[in-house]
């Protein structure tokens, strides 16, 4: 089976010419299609740096990250933007919705960038907002939605481009227990029923408890990699 993500010997050093900070130290990781994996570890362990490197938001100092046979570290900035737009979905801690756009418009934004037709956009937005339980909130702007609802819009937006995988950086950090449970239920359902691959960076035990694979980092290295029996 082809790997969705293949990380080989990845290093990341910040401030190499002054006081070096070694955020990643030779990380190797492979993600299969349909995984529901959590990257865990204390603050400063490297999990967010690794997630950002996989998403092309940060460039490794060394090693390679291969997605669809492409070492993304070798892409130019403009090519990386296009690659992300086509193949990678993001869910961030801070939601990052566009305040002046409605839920519908936030979800369809990436499809506009992809040049999708109005008919295709309308159909996809409707099915995604229904999937996250927000079909009745389609015309509301972020300020009119709760934190949990905003994060569900962010999940729908991440899925809009039909990406190969979703990267979720502390997606439950700003949510209460009920909203977290609802969000995780939605993600787990999408993972199970549509085989969508999720890779989380998280401190949240509620996310860790739902993951089927737990990769633990410490001081920029993977110290354990555990698959949970279903």
Note the Cα 11 to chain centre separation in Å: 20
Q: What pLDDT shows up at residue 216? A: 97
Which CATH number belongs to the domain containing residue 142 in this structure? 3.40.50.300
Q: What pLDDT shows up at residue 173? A: 87
Q: Is the pLDDT of residue 98 over 90?
A: yes
What is the biggest distance separating any 2 CA atoms in the chain, rounded to whole angstroms? 53
For the chain, what is the mean pLDDT? 92
As a whole number of angstroms, the distance between CA 204 and CA 22 comes to 24
Average pLDDT (187-214) is 92
- Residue 136 sits at the vertex; the CA angle it makes with 131 and 137, to the nearest 5 degrees, is 95
Each residue's pLDDT tens digit, 168-184: 999 998 888 998 998 99
Q: What pLDDT shows up at residue 230? A: 65
Decide if 93 contacts 52 (C-beta within 8 A).
Answer: no
Average pLDDT (128-153) is 92
Number of domains in the chain: 1
Q: What pLDDT shows up at residue 139? A: 95
Q: Is the pLDDT of residue 1 over 80?
A: no
Note the Cα 154 to chain centre separation in Å: 10
Q: Which residues have C-beta within 8 Å of that of residue 176, sequence separation ≥ 6?
A: 147, 148
Each residue's pLDDT tens digit, 2-13: 889 999 999 999
As a whole number of angstroms, the distance between CA 143 and CA 63 comes to 42
Q: Is the pLDDT of residue 140 over 90?
A: yes
Domain that holds residue 140: 5-227
């Amino acid at each position: 089976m082809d790997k969705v993500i293949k990380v080989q010997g990845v290093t990341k050093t910040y401030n190499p010419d002054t006081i070096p900070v070694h955020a990643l130290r030779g990380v190797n990781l492979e993600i299969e299609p349909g995984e529901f994996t959590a990257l865990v570890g204390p603050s400063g362990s490297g999990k967010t740096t690794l997630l950002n490197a996989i998403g092309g938001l940060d460039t490794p100092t060394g090693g390679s990250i291969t997605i669809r046979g492409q070492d993304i570290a070798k892409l130019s900035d403009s090519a990386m933007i296009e690659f992300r737009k086509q193949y990678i979905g993001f869910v961030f801690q801070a939601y990052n919705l566009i305040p002046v756009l409605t839920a519908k418009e936030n979800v369809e934004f990436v499809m506009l960038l992809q040049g999708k037709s109005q008919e295709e956009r309308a159909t996809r937005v409707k099915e995604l907002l229904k999937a996250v339980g927000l079909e009745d909130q389609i015309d509301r702007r972020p300020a009119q939605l709760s934190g949990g609802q905003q994060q569900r819009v962010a999940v729908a937006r991440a899925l809009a481009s039909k990406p190969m995988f979703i990267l979720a950086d502390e997606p439950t950090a700003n949510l209460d227990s009920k909203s977290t449970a609802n969000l995780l239920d939605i993600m787990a359902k999408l993972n199970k029923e549509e085989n969508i691959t999720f890779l989380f960076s998280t401190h949240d035990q509620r996310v860790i408890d739902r993951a089927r694979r737990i990769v633990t980092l410490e001081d920029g290295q993977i110290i354990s990699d555990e698959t949970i029996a279903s």
